[in-house]
Structure 1
């Protein structure tokens, strides 16, 4: 620094300030780099919702409302099919993720994926015969249809006046669709014969022969099962019989005289 005492003016002895010259090409490179950086950030931002059940990923969709719509569709399908209540559970909390468009589920297929993977239970009826569960049926109306089918099977006549010969009850149960038993299978289950000990109470006009015939047995079968049994029967006397009977039988209803 040089000082002129007379004028008391101060001069700064320094080099001229250099300025960096920015070219168009350089600016383009800088802007391009910034664009790439921004693009890289956006390329990994969450753009979809991951659908999973029990920790297992089903797939991804780009809109949350697709999942709600799919769940409503599944519920409506099953309620319409079975005319009963439906409970849907098991969907994990949604996770916001990044996904490529080609990896996203078609919203039209989402209801099918949910039905195949979620815990869906439907209110059906448990059929109990003599206190034991025989099958899961759709509704009380199914029991009416079963009664007609068994009349046809046992008496060759759906219009015959007959009733179940066992204690039959229905209980509501929420279970999966695959537990439901179709009618053909249900009829076969009911017709299946099992060995059972029954106790018959002697009525007026009964004989060993008539009782044996009733249970498709021989008189000897009855005498073997009842020590000291003779043809001298008494009204009200109890006779044991080891018989093979259907799981669910039918008996004719005696009409009043």
Structure 2
């Protein structure tokens, strides 16, 4: 994987027959230092309405927020369109696209969220509200049981408070590390390791450790077996030899 692309924002409202701005994010995901082609277009039903192309330099693990412009035809009509950006280098390609709604009124066009998406969001909010009301009603009906459960939970929390605090500490530290970019630095460091060169040595090392572990287990096993085996004791009789005096 060489790079990623993400559409960020559009300029809205837009005068018809003029250029409008849009922003996108491009990320380098490998040791890569080359010029890449960025193609962007608006299309509807497979027909390209407007298009453009930029060429930018992308360095190793580089992250750039770019702003570009695209012409909006004066004869464009209201409807659903697909806005897409494609980044390519030789045979590798990364693409990002958005389904947008363009509303034309009095010589200006507005890019907004699709009505279907708004309705979907409204349905989600209504269902979430109903679920909350039903949950509160159930808690009210079962308040005695809920109260006893809360008391038991409080006892459990007092008993395991160190474990709970440790868990939340790790959650906070993990969130802090994420926002400070520690994971990204670690991922970049791992990606920069020449695994093809190191992997054979890792395989040999792991194989040696496994062999050593098997030998240790065999020695322990044989030692226990030998302890269980009873070796009969051989009684040695001492024979006294009498010598005659001449």
* Fold-level similarity (TM above 0.5): no
Larger radius of gyration: 1
* Bin of the TM-score, shorter chain as denominator length: under 0.3
Higher helix share goes to which structure?
Answer: 2
Q: TM-score, normalised by structure 1?
A: 0.18
Q: TM-score, normalised by structure 2?
A: 0.19
